[in-house]
Amino acid sequence: MSDTNTVVLNKVVSVEEVQRDWLDLKTRVGQLEGERALLERENKTLRLLLERVVEHRQRSHSELILLLTGLVSKLPINDVGVVVSKLVEHNANVSEVCAALSRGSVEVALPKPAVLKNLEQAKRDLSDAIKPAVEELIQADPPLEIAMLRALITNPKSFFTPAATRANRCFVKGQVTKERVLREFGEESLPFFTDLTTDAKLNPRPKQEEIVLAFKPDFEALLAQSSTLAASKRSELTALFHRIQKSRAATDAARAQKNTFQRLTFVLELLNYYENQATEAPDVIFASRLPVLIEQLVLVPGQEALDLNWITQAERLLAFIISHDHRLMVINNIGKSGGLALLLKFVLRLRVEKLTDENEVIQEFVRAIIRPSPQKPPTTKSVADILKLISQEARQKLVIRGIMGCDRLKREEGEALGRAIGAEMGLKGLEEEMRPKSNLSPEVERELAWDRIKELILQRADPSIVAAAIRDRLHAKYDSDEVKQSWITLIESEPIAFIRTFCQLPYLSDGRADPIARAVLETYVTRLTHEKYAGTYTKVLSSLKNMFKAKADSPTLLNFVALVKWVDAESASRLSRDIGLTH
Q: What is the DSSP string of 14-42?
A: PHHHHHHHHHHHHHHHHHHHHHHHHHHHH
Mean pLDDT of the chain: 83
Question: Based on the number of CB atoms within 10 Å of its own CB, is 116 exposed (0-12), middle (13-18) or buried (19 or more)?
Answer: middle
Mark whether 412 and 530 lie in a shared domain: no
Q: How confident is the model at residue 6 (pLDDT cuts 50, 70, 90)?
A: very low
Say whether pLDDT at 331 is over 70: yes
Q: How many domains does the chain have?
A: 4
Say whether pLDDT at 365 is over 50: yes
Q: How many CA atoms lie within 13 A of 393 on its CB side?
A: 7
Q: Considering only 7-21, 110-124, 227-241, which range has the smallest mean pLDDT?
A: 7-21
Residue 333 or 94, more confident: 333
Question: Based on the number of CB atoms within 10 Å of its own CB, is 424 exposed (0-12), middle (13-18) or buried (19 or more)?
Answer: middle
Mark whether 170 and 123 lie in a shared domain: yes
CA distance 247 to 140: 9
User: Cβ distance 494 to 460 under 8 Å?
Assistant: no
Q: How confident is the model at residue 410 (pLDDT cuts 50, 70, 90)?
A: confident
What is the arithmetic mean of pLDDT over 169-198?
Answer: 91
- Tens-digit pLDDT profile for residues 484-500: 888 888 888 888 888 88
Q: What is residue 126's predicted lDDT score, i.e. its pLDDT?
A: 93
Say whether pLDDT at 80 is over 80: no
Say whether pLDDT at 34 is over 90: no
Ramachandran sector of residue 410 (left: φ over 0; alpha: ψ -120 to 50; beta: rest): beta
Q: What is residue 528's predicted lDDT score, i.e. its pLDDT?
A: 87
Mark whether 416 and 519 lie in a shared domain: no
Say whether pLDDT at 159 is over 80: yes
Domain boundary among 112, 128, 144: 112
Contacts of 465 (CB under 8 A, 6+ apart): 407, 456
Q: What is residue 195's predicted lDDT score, i.e. its pLDDT?
A: 93
Mark whether 427 and 478 lie in a shared domain: no
Q: How confident is the model at residue 296 (pLDDT cuts 50, 70, 90)?
A: very high
CA distance 506 to 560: 11
Say whether pLDDT at 7 is over 50: no
What is the arithmetic mean of pLDDT over 286-310?
Answer: 91
Q: How confident is the model at residue 79 (pLDDT cuts 50, 70, 90)?
A: low
- Tell me whether residue 6 is in a domain: no
- Tell me whether residue 86 is in a domain: yes
Mark whether 462 and 557 lie in a shared domain: yes
Mark whether 450 and 469 lie in a shared domain: yes
- Tell me whether residue 320 is in a domain: no
What is the arithmetic mean of pLDDT over 140-163?
Answer: 93
Q: What is residue 86's predicted lDDT score, i.e. its pLDDT?
A: 67
CA distance 48 to 401: 73
3-class SS of residue 98? helix
What is the arithmetic mean of pLDDT over 260-282?
Answer: 90
Query: In the β-sheet with 193-195, what is the strand arrangement from edge to edge?
Result: 176-177, 212-215, 193-195
Mark whether 157 and 255 lie in a shared domain: yes
Classify residue 426 by its DSSP letter: T
Domain boundary among 85, 112, 139: 112
Q: What is residue 408's predicted lDDT score, i.e. its pLDDT?
A: 81
Give DSSP secondary structure letters for 45-93: HHHHHHHHHHHHHHHHHHHHHHHHHHHHHHS--TTHHHHHHHHHHHHHH
- Whether the bond between 374 and the residue before it is cis, its omega within 30 degrees of 0, is yes
Contacts of 132 (CB under 8 A, 6+ apart): none
Ramachandran sector of residue 206 (left: φ over 0; alpha: ψ -120 to 50; beta: rest): beta
Say whether pLDDT at 91 is over 80: no
3-class SS of residue 193? strand
CA distance 563 to 506: 9
CA distance 107 to 58: 8
Q: What is residue 1's predicted lDDT score, i.e. its pLDDT?
A: 46
Cα angle value 23/26/32 (rounded, 5°): 145
- Tens-digit pLDDT profile for residues 335-362: 888 889 999 999 999 988 777 778 888 8
Helix (H) or strand (E) holding 283: helix 282-284
- Tens-digit pLDDT profile for residues 435-482: 554 455 677 777 878 888 888 888 888 888 888 888 888 887 778 888
Q: Considering only 502-516, 520-534, 545-559, 561-575, which range has the smallest mean pLDDT?
A: 502-516
Ramachandran sector of residue 511 (left: φ over 0; alpha: ψ -120 to 50; beta: rest): left
Mark whether 75 and 129 lie in a shared domain: no
CA distance 391 to 465: 34
Q: Which of 554, 548, 551, 535 is nearest to 578 (CA)?
A: 548
Q: What is residue 347's predicted lDDT score, i.e. its pLDDT?
A: 92
User: Cβ distance 378 to 399 under 8 Å?
Assistant: no
- Tell me whether residue 346 is in a domain: no
Mark whether 145 and 28 lie in a shared domain: no
- Tell me whether residue 145 is in a domain: yes
- Tens-digit pLDDT profile for residues 231-262: 889 999 999 999 999 998 889 899 999 999 99
Q: Considering only 61-75, 438-452, 568-582, which range has the smallest mean pLDDT?
A: 61-75
Q: Which of 427, 405, 428 is nearest to 417 (CA)?
A: 405
Domain boundary among 384, 419, 435: 435
CA distance 122 to 80: 15
3-state SS record for 480-530? HHHHHHHHHHHHCCCHHHHHHHHHHCCECCCCCECCCHHHHHHHHHHHHCC
Q: How confident is the model at residue 175 (pLDDT cuts 50, 70, 90)?
A: very high
- Tell me whether residue 360 is in a domain: no
Mark whether 457 and 418 lie in a shared domain: no
Mark whether 466 and 397 lie in a shared domain: no
Find the domain containing 108 and state its range: 15-112
Determine the residue type at 332. N
- Tell me whether residue 247 is in a domain: yes
Q: What is residue 166's predicted lDDT score, i.e. its pLDDT?
A: 92
Determine the residue type at 256. A
Say whether pLDDT at 60 is over 80: no
Helix ranges restricted to H, 351-429: 358-369, 380-387, 393-404, 411-425
- Tell me whether residue 330 is in a domain: no
CA distances from 27 to 18, 24, 30, 33, 269 (A): 14, 5, 5, 10, 84
Residue 460 or 271, more confident: 271
- Tens-digit pLDDT profile for residues 504-519: 888 877 677 788 888 8
Q: How confident is the model at residue 549 (pLDDT cuts 50, 70, 90)?
A: confident
Mark whether 34 and 105 lie in a shared domain: yes
